[in-house]
Amino acid sequence: MRDYQLLIFDWDGTLADSISRIVESMHRATDAFSLPRCSDDQVRGIIGLALPEAIRVLYPQMHSDADVARLRELYSVHYRALDVEPSPLFYGVEESLAAFREQGYQLAVATGKARPGLQRALAGRGWLDYFDYSRCADETASKPDPLMLHEILEQSGVSAERAIMVGDSTFDLLMAQRAGMDSVAVGYGAQPLEMLRPCKPVLEVDCFTDLAAWLAGQVPKCSVEGGVHGG
């Protein structure tokens, strides 16, 4: 078994299959703001950033903080309307997380969501006390700044060498890299593995269950060929 104590997960696109809701919410918000729509791929490309930073990347011509705040509010309104039911978890997530808890790992979430959004998602699953630690983008610096990981490490008392970050975006993996932490790239979320490989994850998976197999010292069943790096 790998010598990790703390497993840190991104939420959207890593644990929860919420990417389509995020994309549609941004489209509806920009329509209401009379802005031209970005492409689906462009919106997927900013998932993981804090919402104000994401808006500025998509619309660099938007210089007014008030306009950014207004578009952020419109996005939140539309996302809540689509998020009446919690986004489904990806295949194997619920069972794997339960197994990780039983095996004694500490579990954490490091997300670009704001705290109300994460709390709503956790409450919808009865998971308000499920994770040992969590940090949200409205509480700290946005990814890929490593601050939220440093804060989780400080809370947990675990060193960066004994923790690993699991995510679906370059923002997740760069954040881990800057924190001196290993990372796992998942290929079913916001960004394809081809975009994540330059961040040098120690593992690439197409199924969440491959992470459990790898941590147990087994050969993952559905990882991409050549996707397991290092020891």
Which residue blocks in the chain are alpha helix, DSSP H? Answer: 19-32, 40-44, 51-58, 65-82, 93-102, 115-124, 147-156, 170-178, 193-196, 209-215
Which of the residue ranges 108-122, 165-179, 183-197, 211-225 would you say has the lowest mean pLDDT?
211-225
Residue 224 has pLDDT above 90, yes or no: no
Closest CA to 112 of 153, 186, 150, 169: 169
Residue 10 has pLDDT above 90, yes or no: yes
Q: For residue 36, say if its preceding peptide bond is cis, omega within 30 degrees of 0.
A: no
Residue 228 has pLDDT above 70, yes or no: no
| Mean pLDDT value across residues 109-122 | 95
pLDDT, tens digit (0-9, with 9 covering 90-100), for 139-163: 999 999 999 999 999 999 999 999 9
pLDDT, tens digit (0-9, with 9 covering 90-100), for 39-55: 999 999 999 999 999 99
Whole-number average pLDDT of the chain: 92
> How many residues can be counted in the chain?
231
Residue 227 has pLDDT above 70, yes or no: no
- Name the pLDDT band for 86 (thresholds 50, 70, 90): confident
Is the pTM above the cut of 0.75? yes
pLDDT of residue 83: 85
| Mean pLDDT value across residues 174-195 | 96
- Name the pLDDT band for 221 (thresholds 50, 70, 90): low
Q: Distance (Å, rounded) from C-alpha 12 to C-alpha 17? A: 7
Return the axis-axis angle of helices 65-82 and 51-58, rounded to nearest 10°.
110
pLDDT of residue 110: 98
Return the axis-axis angle of helices 19-32 and 65-82, rounded to nearest 10°.
130
Closest CA to 182 of 191, 190, 173: 173
| Mean pLDDT value across residues 167-183 | 97
Which of the residue ranges 25-34, 70-79, 82-91 would you say has the lowest mean pLDDT?
82-91
| Mean pLDDT value across residues 58-70 | 93
pLDDT of residue 198: 96
pLDDT of residue 225: 38
